[in-house]
Amino acid sequence: MNLLAPFIEVLTLDNIKFLLEGFMVTLKVAAISIVLSSIIGGLVGTLRYAKIPVVSQLLAVVVETIRNLPLLLIIFFTYFALPEIGIDMEIMTAAIVALTIFESAMLSEIIRSGLNSIDKGQIEAGRSSGLNYIQTLSYIVMPQALRRMVPPIVSQFISLLKDTSLAVVIALPDLLHNGQILYAQTGSGVTPIFTIVALMYFIVNFTLSRVARRLELKQV
Amino acid sequence: MLDFSILTDNMDAFLEGFKVTLIASFIALICSFILGTLIAVMRIAPFKPINWIGTTYVEFIRNIPVLVIVFFTYLAGNFGGMAAGIIGLTVYTAAFIAEAIRAGIMSVPRGQMEAARSSGLTYGQAMRMVILPQAVKIVIPPLGNQFINLVKNSSLLAVVAGGDLMYQGDLISASTFVTFDTYIFVGLFYLILTIPLSFGVGYLEKRLARSN
């Protein structure tokens, strides 16, 4: 039982409470970013799919640039560089803004390729039965595409939840941050604290990935 | 307007960071390819307890943040930032590569394995000489995507003082007090690596889709 002793030592009521507080911040930041990036990503992905001259090309450049940058750079940039041009944000706001920028770009690609996977004949059929382009998109193409998009979108949400941990670099008091503090305070060694922190992330993400797998199987 | 003197004055530091990012990503790619292949084979091996080890590894690692792993390797070992970062990235990326390779192996028809076994090859030989070469084609585009992710994730080295591009960027912005421009240049250096890779992967995916 020597192996478990350090774990039991760390798991006092106060420490668990402290970690859960951090976890609530993680979940809150993730949830807000998920909602915001779904809206923006959905809009951007649809606009790119619709091939509106100039707008679509411009969005393509922006999306490709953001997707190919490290999220850590975007977080640093939002929190440390933007104040230089007068945009000053609190830590949590900066974390949410940075995550939303990055994940919107990722989600917009999922949505665009989901829309692209629907046969073009569907649009033609919709248009020739008298619907206009927007109606065709929202009643014919979108509902079919959405079913295919759900699994990759859920995986992206899992990525987002994991990515919130990067905000420790700007001292967001999230799960990883609080874990680090406990590690420094208790001096109980690396393994117990980091295993517990990892398990907390794991439980939520694993549950999400199971849900995604179920949805995937349902479609086949 | 951007202050290009930041770039020219600190060119050595930028290039040093760029080099570390490139080397770290590359070493991590090779190592995680080897580890990932091993885990993929474990997951489909005809022996349940070995399957479980492979599955547990993949499911656990894929569902925790890479930064947790990097911090752990950094604090638990005595490696220094760059080595700890590379080990952490390898452990993380191997789980994703294992999944890509497993999907590739599963895409080879079962009959191939049966034919190889009945012509006298052992399981290991059949895997190495018959199944894996056929799986490679399907595995290459996702591997490319993992390399792009590695280049981006290698920025986590900055958090453990790994000397990479992001880390050098932080140092430059701290010494010049010009954060905005410095980060823009750091971003451009990353894009030099990731944009061509993205186009390459896109091209391979299209070609693969056509050949099927």
All residues at 6 or more sequence positions from B168 whose CB lies less than 8 Å from its CB, including other chains: B10, B13, B14, B16, B17, B20, B186
Q: What is the dihedral of CA A43, A48, A49, A50, to 10 degrees?
A: 90
Ranked by mean pLDDT, the top range of A141-150, B28-37, B126-135 is: B28-37
Mean pLDDT of all residues in A80-103: 94
Closest CA to A39 of A136, A111, A143, A113: A111
pLDDT tens column, B170-200: 999 999 999 999 999 999 999 999 999 999 9
pLDDT tens column, A1-15: 577 777 877 788 889
Lowest mean pLDDT among A109-113, B18-22, B69-73, B127-131: B127-131
Q: Test B166 with A70 for CB contact under 8 angstroms.
A: yes
pLDDT value at position B141?
Answer: 87
Closest CA to A20 of A200, A146, A155: A200
Q: Which of B64, B179, B186 has its CB closest to that of A202?
A: B64
What would the DSSP string read from start to end of A119-149? -HHHHHHHHHTT--HHHHIIIIIHHHHHHHH
| DSSP three-state, residue B111 | helix
Please give the residue of chain B at the shortest CA–CA distance from A197. B68
pLDDT value at position B2?
Answer: 82
The C-alpha of A199 sits at a distance from chain B's nearest C-alpha, in angstroms, of 8
Domain boundaries, chain A: 5-219
**Residue A140 clears pLDDT 60, i.e. is over it:** yes
Mutate to test the interface with A, among B64, B145, B148 (most CBs of A within 10 A): B64
Q: Is A108:A38 a contact under the CB 8 Å cutoff?
A: no
**Residue B108 clears pLDDT 70, i.e. is over it:** yes
Mean pLDDT of all residues in A60-77: 95
Taking each helix axis from N to C end, the angle separating A190-219 and A175-186, rounded to the nearest 10 degrees, works out to 160
Q: Which of A73, A164, A168 has its CB closest to that of B155?
A: A73
| Block residue for tokens 């041009």 | A85
Q: Test B75 with A183 for CB contact under 8 angstroms.
A: yes
Lowest mean pLDDT among A179-193, B37-51, B152-166: A179-193
Mutate to test the interface with A, among B2, B68, B147 (most CBs of A within 10 A): B68
**A→B interface, C-beta within 8 Å:** 64-65, 67-73, 76-77, 80-82, 84-85, 158, 162-166, 168-169, 176, 179-180, 183, 190-191, 194, 197-198, 201-202, 205-206, 209
**Residue B78 clears pLDDT 90, i.e. is over it:** no
The beta-carbon contacts of B130-135 under 8 Å, at least 24 apart in sequence, are B131/B105, B132/B37, B132/B105, B134/B108, B135/B101, B135/B104, B135/B105, B135/B107, B135/B108
Backbone φ and ψ for B163, nearest 5 degrees, come out as 75, 15
**Residue B136 clears pLDDT 90, i.e. is over it:** no
C-alpha pair distances (Å), A186 with each of A179, A182, B116, B194: 10, 6, 57, 41
Q: Test B180 with A72 for CB contact under 8 angstroms.
A: no
Q: Test B63 with A72 for CB contact under 8 angstroms.
A: no
- Please check whether residue B180 touches A, CB under 8 A: yes
Q: Is A62:A108 a contact under the CB 8 Å cutoff?
A: no
CATH of domain A5-219: 1.10.3720.10
Burial A57-80 (b: 16+ CB within 10 A, else e): eebeebbbbbbbbbbbbbbbbbbb
Mean pLDDT of all residues in A97-117: 95
CA distance A209 to B121: 38
Q: Test B71 with A85 for CB contact under 8 angstroms.
A: no
Q: Beta-carbon neighbour count of residue B38 at 10 Å?
A: 15
Mutate to test the interface with B, among A23, A103, A194 (most CBs of B within 10 A): A194
Q: Which of A65, A67, A162 has its CB closest to that of B64?
A: A162
Contacts of B187 in chain A (CB under 8 A): 69, 73, 77
The C-alpha of A189 sits at a distance from chain B's nearest C-alpha, in angstroms, of 8
Please give the residue of chain B at the shortest CA–CA distance from A76. B183
Task: Name the pLDDT band for A219 (thresholds 50, 70, 90).
Answer: low
CA distance A20 to B111: 51
CA distance A71 to A159: 11
pTM of the shown model:
0.90
**Residue A220 clears pLDDT 70, i.e. is over it:** no
What percent of chain B is modeled with pLDDT above 90? Answer: 71
| DSSP letter assigned to residue A2 | T
Closest CA to B191 of B18, B28, B29: B18
| ipTM, interface predicted TM-score of the complex | 0.90
All residues at 6 or more sequence positions from B182 whose CB lies less than 8 Å from its CB, including other chains: A81, B6, B10, B169, B172, B173, B176
CA distance B62 to B98: 11
pLDDT value at position B30?
Answer: 95
The C-alpha of A192 sits at a distance from chain B's nearest C-alpha, in angstroms, of 11
Please give the residue of chain B at the shortest CA–CA distance from A190. B76
Please give the residue of chain A at the shortest CA–CA distance from B184. A77
Contacts of B194 in chain A (CB under 8 A): 68-69
- Please check whether residue B58 touches A, CB under 8 A: no
Q: Which of B76, B152, B198 has its CB closest to that of A191?
A: B76
pLDDT value at position B127?
Answer: 87
Contacts of A82 in chain B (CB under 8 A): 180
All residues at 6 or more sequence positions from B7 whose CB lies less than 8 Å from its CB, including other chains: B14, B185
pLDDT tens column, A174-215: 999 999 999 988 877 788 899 999 999 999 999 998 888 887
CA distance B205 to B87: 29
Which H or E run includes B158?
none
What is the CATH topology of the domain spanning B4-211?
A: MetI-like fold (1.10.3720)
